[in-house]
Chain A
């Protein structure tokens, strides 16, 4: 019943004279009628695809370890291999298809990051090596890189202070 009462109708929007309230009401009305993806199905798909990517990564790590690489080195090689795989799949236009199904499952792992760098490189190649690829390769990944480095620095400073104080 509560829901029914809160629901904004088209008539509420049309008769509203105040611009801000009208916009708020219209946005609420739009939200009510706009269909969305099934969240449970999306979560399940993301879990499945994300899990598979991690299993492949683990496979790489085990492979390199069995070839004699140390723990840290085989982990690095595993990451590199996933990045390479993602870039190749991006170039072949297969990665977007997996992402359409897997959603966050393909976005969160390192493969998603690699895709977000490779895709602009492919797209903007036509605009040249410098102004195309050079300037635009990080259009999507740029914020991740910038704020990733910034937050690492902030955490590093905090860690340093705590260390000096003898807390850690």
Chain B
């Protein structure tokens, strides 16, 4: 009986989990490339690397190094030792998770490699928090990355190929973000180390479904992902039985301008108006007028560095009390696309609170 009681507390509605002892985000790190550093959020990032190769020899090597740097930095910022991290949950966009496999190997920490396209940060954080609250780990590192050149090479064209990008396209962010998720009981330790900042906790998660509205345009990822974001956000609000103003911000990953418009429009049909508190990481990270990025930023790194750099700051300073962080992913494979399939979307919601 006792077991059943605990389970029912943790499960909320159809797709959501509310943690019994909400895990704490002990630290967050953000490492980005030059273009991201020149963008509107430049001053919020921990490290800006001018060298697009990150000292490596290929784009894949570059992204591996990038991810390793973000992972190590998050451990360093948490004040704990590398061997105190029990598990890593991480993933990236490159075939068979190249950046994660090759970047993280040296850390010698047991790892779950996950793939959720650009929603990977959401998936990593959700699984990390579940592991921690379930008592299977005390500290978990959740990490993801993306690199503009590596993504172009894999999903689009070689960099030197001349073409015109349609206005609905987004620009893959070169960046990696990592968080250390710790047991809720570590909150006191965090407070004792830094009295000024609020403690940031993961209160719950809403796991997203694969949503396919039949869009076959790989140059319009916002339209592919918006229905997934809509489904997850709507379900989150229903599962928790709250209105959008429950959150100070509802933060999607990389919908861009086109996707944002669709998302707001779709949610209105369910009676939810998020036009005043919606924010999209892809729109925030670049300035389309000076940086030629069209619809916005994208990639796993987009939501990851915006969260660890910008959103975490806002929460720590208590400017925002509670946000719903919804990294969005377009499940795009060049193989399935060439075989005539559309690009389905996925989005996971992470409820983050400042205390």
Contact = CB atoms under 8 A, between A and B. Distances in A.
A147 B185 CA distance: 66
Interface string A22-55: 1110110110011111000010000000000000
Contact of A10 (B165, B166, B262): B262
B213 A99 contact: no
B269 A14 contact: yes
Contact of A119 (B159, B217, B223, B262): B159
B213 A23 contact: yes
Contact of A37 (B57, B157, B160, B164): B164
Q: Is the interface of A mostly helix, strand, loop or mixed?
A: helix
B167 A36 contact: yes
Contacts, number: 105
Contact of A91 (B160, B168, B258): B160
Contact of A14 (B58, B153, B223, B266): B266
B147 to A, nearest CB: 14
A69 B261 CA distance: 61
Interface in B143-179: 153, 157-168
B268 interface: yes
A135 interface: no
A90 B160 contact: yes
A103 to B, nearest CB: 5
A95 B266 contact: no
Interface in A92-113: 93, 95-100, 103, 106-107, 112
Contacts of B217: 30
Nearest to B57: A126
Interface residues of B, number: 33
Contact of A35 (B160, B213, B258, B268): B258
Given A23-B214, A99-B163, A34 B158 contact: no
A3 B83 CA distance: 64
Contact of A106 (B57, B162, B270, B342): B162
Interface residues of A, number: 43
A140 B163 CA distance: 12
A109 to B, nearest CB: 11
B160 A93 contact: yes
Nearest to A45: B164
B227 interface: yes
Nearest to B168: A34
Contacts of A24: 214
A122 B269 contact: no
A112 B57 CA distance: 28
A27 B161 contact: no
Contacts of A152: none
A30 B221 CA distance: 11
Q: Which of B158, B166, B213, B214 has the most CB of A within 10 A?
A: B158
B160 A34 contact: no
A37 to B, nearest CB: 6
Contacts of B227: 26
Interface of B: 57-59, 153, 157-168, 213-217, 220, 223, 227, 258, 261-262, 265-266, 268-270, 342
5 contacts: A11-B269, A30-B217, A30-B258, A35-B258, A96-B161
Interface of A: 9-11, 13-15, 20, 22-24, 26-27, 29-30, 33-37, 42, 90-91, 93, 95-100, 103, 106-107, 112, 115-116, 118-120, 122-124, 126, 140
